[in-house]
Amino acid sequence: MASPSEMHSNDLCDRCGSSLTVTSMEVFGTKISLRATCECRYREMKARERRARIADLHESIRKQGLEDGLYGRMTLDGWECRDASCEGSAKILECYLRSAVFGSRNWLYLHGGYGLGKTHLAVAALKYLCIENQWEPLLVKWSEYCSRIQQSWHNSDADSEYDLWRRAANVTLLVLDDIDKRASSEWTLGKLYDLIDYRYVRQLPTIMTANRSLEALSTYWARTEQMQDLAKAIVSRTIGQLSAVIEFSGHDYRLGGS
């Protein structure tokens, strides 16, 4: 079968007035001409597809409850630069959002004390990248995720462990919130390692929040020899895929500190 060829038609597009392009090819000795097309119609089709895709992504955000309550306020515009530290965090995030692409380091790690805005910026980044890059998003609160897996063992009506794992592992953009909030065990660390390793190998964009720095996590999680190995492996893979780190400091804004 010969490669397709293109030639201009004498007909004009009824929308933009340009000459229509006719694509023809030879199939088993028979020449076939496809319907004349115009670039403006192609652009319109792509625009419709983009609008439909963005509408689907907005619906995904809504179904996850990220447009309700406090989550609804977690946007880039909703971030309050209360001091120089907040301004610095916003600048690092801005650089990360501009550089986050497939096939390169595209992970973000946010850490610091309570009530400093880690989750706010993580969710804001999720919403931005979801629409701007058309990436399917998922927010996973780590403690809740582990609990849902355990509940699935005894509840046939709940999502299965495999379904929970598959969605978190394969979603385009994953936010793992509070990875060090749940009491660590070999089981929880093993689950986190599996998830981190899967996404690391495939270079899938991932954002994590924690109270502790990556260096501190290795010590915090190392209660047994097996946990120490898992902790080192998790930290190593995270560092290997990191694009940016944001460290938060200051007073817990929920307590009215200044």
- Label each residue of the chain as H, E or C: CCCCEEEEEEEECCCCCCEEEEEEEEECCEEEECCCECHHHHHHHHHHHHHHHHHHHHHHHHHCCCCCHHHHHCCCCCCCCCCHHHHHHHHHHHHHHHHCCCCCCCEEEEEECCCCCHHHHHHHHHHHHHHHCCCCEEEEEHHHHHHHHHHHCCCCCCCCHHHHHHHHHHCCEEEEECCCCCCCCHHHHHHHHHHHHHHHHHCCCEEEEECCCHHHHHHHHCCCHHHHHHHHHHHHHHHHHEEEEEEECCCCHHHCCC
Q: Where are the domains of the chain?
A: 15-50, 64-255
pLDDT band for position 33 (50/70/90)? low
| Mean pLDDT value across the chain | 88
Structure tokens at 181: 């909030």
Supply the pLDDT for residue 36.
61
pLDDT average, residue stretch 88-107: 94
- Dump pLDDT digits (tens) for 231-243: 999 999 999 999 9
pLDDT average, residue stretch 56-83: 93
pLDDT band for position 142 (50/70/90)? very high
pLDDT average, residue stretch 179-200: 92
CB 32 within 8 A of CB 23: no
Give whole-number Cα distances, 179 to 65, 189, 230, 242, 243, in Å.
20, 10, 14, 16, 18
pLDDT average, residue stretch 113-134: 96
User: Which amino acid, 210?
Assistant: A
CATH code linked to domain 64-255: 3.40.50.300
pLDDT > 90: what percent of the chain? 67
**Residue located via tokens 């501190």:** 216
**In this predicted structure, which of 57-61, 85-89, 131-135 has the lowest mean pLDDT?**
85-89
pLDDT band for position 28 (50/70/90)? confident
Which is higher by pLDDT, 30 or 53? 53
pTM above 0.85, yes or no: no
**In this predicted structure, which of 111-115, 180-184, 201-205 has the lowest mean pLDDT?**
180-184
Which is higher by pLDDT, 241 or 46? 241
Give whole-number Cα distances, 113 to 86, 154, 178, 238, in Å.
13, 35, 11, 20
